[in-house]
A and B are shown apart, each in its own frame.
Chain A
Amino acid sequence: MGDKEVESKILKIENLNAYYFENHVLKDINLQIPENKITAIMGPSGCGKTTLIRCINRLHELSPGGKVTGKIFLRDENIYEMEPMIVRRKIGMVFQKPNPFPTMSIYHNVLSGYRLNGIKISKIEEERIVEETLKKVGLWNEVKDYLHKRGTFLSGGQQQRLCIARAIALSPEILLMDEPTSALDPVSASKIEELLLQLKESYTIIIVTHNLQQAARISDYTAFLLMGELIEFDKTEKIFTVPSDPRTENYLLGKFG
């Protein structure tokens, strides 16, 4: 039928358990994320999907009551043995509500990962990064004459693209996206989806979404989470046509949401 693709796994999650105060939010997750693909994480509300990606960029431990055990290997290094701030520069995140920094211009927003971290780069390098990333997210032509204005005049979809630019300016390996289009209108949402399909050539994308159609449309692999457990992980085309677990099937049929 198809040729067996040997895909390299960029992220290996081993026996991950996460807690929120006394609640056991993620139970023994074992998952391997393939490189340069879009992996969707889906499941009903409260299943732990947002917690999972916040463990991947070590944001969960910053929440009050947040605790994590287990290992996550980015290529060969356990991120829980690395400096958290280094981890977060290699694994970027885009949030549900577009949140460009309101006191900074578009130009500085894109570079904020460098400036706020005190990473010194030359002016020429700065301008190159700004132009390149804004071109990658398809914003360059719309904002190139307004680079030094604050980003708040942009529409929701444009702001979200700015946030994506801000994240990829640091050249991360992995992009985590927490329902990146749920606050946007359908037209902007589909533009962002197209953008993600382009970006996966350069980055590995993990997207949390409660929009089944979106997961079906753009992802290569899908993980289904239920009450903190990983129920099934497989190629998207398989999960949506012949899922292995009846719980996955019920979820797709809308029997619980």
Chain B
Amino acid sequence: MRDEIYKRLLKDKLFKTVVIFLSFISTVPLFFILFHLIKNGLSSLNIEFLFNLPKPIGEEGGGIANAIVGTFILILISSFLSIPLGISAGIFMAENRNSKLYKIINLLVEILQGVPSIVLGIVAYLWVVKPMKHFSALSGGIALAIMMLPVIIKSTEETINLIPESLKEASLALGVPYYKTILFVILPSGLSGILTGILIGISRIAGETAPLLFTAFGNPYMNLNIFKPVESLPHLIYNYAKSPFSEWHQKAWAASFVLILMVFTLNILSKWVIRKWKVRF
């Protein structure tokens, strides 16, 4: 009898140990990456790096200012395009679960989520770059917007589904028209969930390179004109990393570090947003 108990306790301990060990192993790559980033990139990280334009190879110094600004511009464009569309679609999906249109849109959204990002880049190339006859930040933004769209639609839909129906009814029962109910009661209540969805979407696209290859294309200079090509962090990292120059490799590490920092900040921001604005029902 006591043997039985000992055996069971031992199995329990063994299982626990294995689980902890495996969890630990899964975090190793992250630590590995961070370690290398810091080791290799920190040395090149300075104010100059962040605020200067890249210099041609051979010259001293140079920075990634255009890439940082470019990434921001691309994020702005894709947000501007995908957020209103995504939230509206998300609201429609949440409110019309029984209609045929819902089933169609749902299917399309799921398909869209599975499309490889390079294909989206090609689509944007065909839609925007070819007619415009040159690369532009706009086309890059469009490609990224298409990537962000399913994320925003799904998270908006799920957030609104979590809002109890009685809230909507309470507003309607006060004689408030439907559109005002959505705008002033439902959306504010779901704000934290929707914002989280947006921040997740942004985190996703901030590091994308493939769709930008034939759209935003890249630009060694600072560019604020959305109809012209623009540099972005992931694209710059890709170029520098595959180059034969070790100084550029250094810069690639540093740029990667900056990118990770950006994504990390977004993550913390979203957690703060959830905590501050979460509405309990």
Given contacts A59-B169, A97-B164, contact A102 B175 (CB under 8 A): no
- A116 CB within 8 Å of chain B: yes
B172 touches A88 (CB 8 A): yes
Q: How far is the CB of A252 from chain B (nearest CB, A)?
A: 30
Listed in ascending order, the chain B residues whose CB lies under 8 Å from chain A are: 98, 164, 166-167, 169-177, 180-181, 184-185, 188-189, 191, 279-281
Q: How far is the CB of B238 from chain A (nearest CB, A)?
A: 43
- A62 CB within 8 Å of chain B: yes
- A180 CB within 8 Å of chain B: no
Listed in ascending order, the chain A residues whose CB lies under 8 Å from chain B are: 57, 59, 62, 64, 84-89, 92-93, 95-97, 99, 101-103, 112-113, 116-118, 152, 163, 166-167, 170
Alpha-carbon separation in the docked complex, A188 to B171 (Å): 24
Q: How far is the CB of A111 from chain B (nearest CB, A)?
A: 11
Q: How far is the CB of A35 from chain B (nearest CB, A)?
A: 21
Alpha-carbon separation in the docked complex, A101 to B167 (Å): 7
Given contacts A97-B166, A116-B185, contact A102 B174 (CB under 8 A): no
A112 touches B172 (CB 8 A): no
Alpha-carbon separation in the docked complex, A87 to B176 (Å): 11
Select one of B172, B174, B180 contacting A170, CB under 8 A: B174
Select one of B173, B180, B181, B280 contacting A102, CB under 8 A: B280
Q: Give chain B residues whose Cβ lies under 8 Å from the Cβ of A152.
A: 280
Alpha-carbon separation in the docked complex, A117 to B169 (Å): 15
Number of A-B contacts (CB under 8 A): 75
Alpha-carbon separation in the docked complex, A170 to B279 (Å): 26
A57 touches B173 (CB 8 A): yes
Given contacts A102-B280, A103-B188, contact A116 B180 (CB under 8 A): yes
B174 touches A88 (CB 8 A): yes
A112 touches B174 (CB 8 A): yes
Select one of B170, B177, B185, B191 contacting A95, CB under 8 A: B170
A and B contact pairs by CB, cutoff 8 A, 10 listed: A59-B173, A85-B177, A92-B173, A93-B169, A96-B166, A103-B191, A103-B279, A116-B181, A166-B174, A167-B174
A101 touches B281 (CB 8 A): no
Q: Give chain B residues whose Cβ lies under 8 Å from the Cβ of A87.
A: 175
Q: Which 4 A-B pairs have the closest CB atoms?
A: A88-B175, A89-B175, A93-B173, A85-B175
Q: How far is the CB of B172 from chain A (nearest CB, A)?
A: 6
A113 touches B167 (CB 8 A): no
A95 touches B166 (CB 8 A): yes
Q: How far is the CB of A170 from chain B (nearest CB, A)?
A: 7
B170 touches A113 (CB 8 A): no
Q: Which residue in chain B gives the minimum CB-CB distance to A170? A: B174
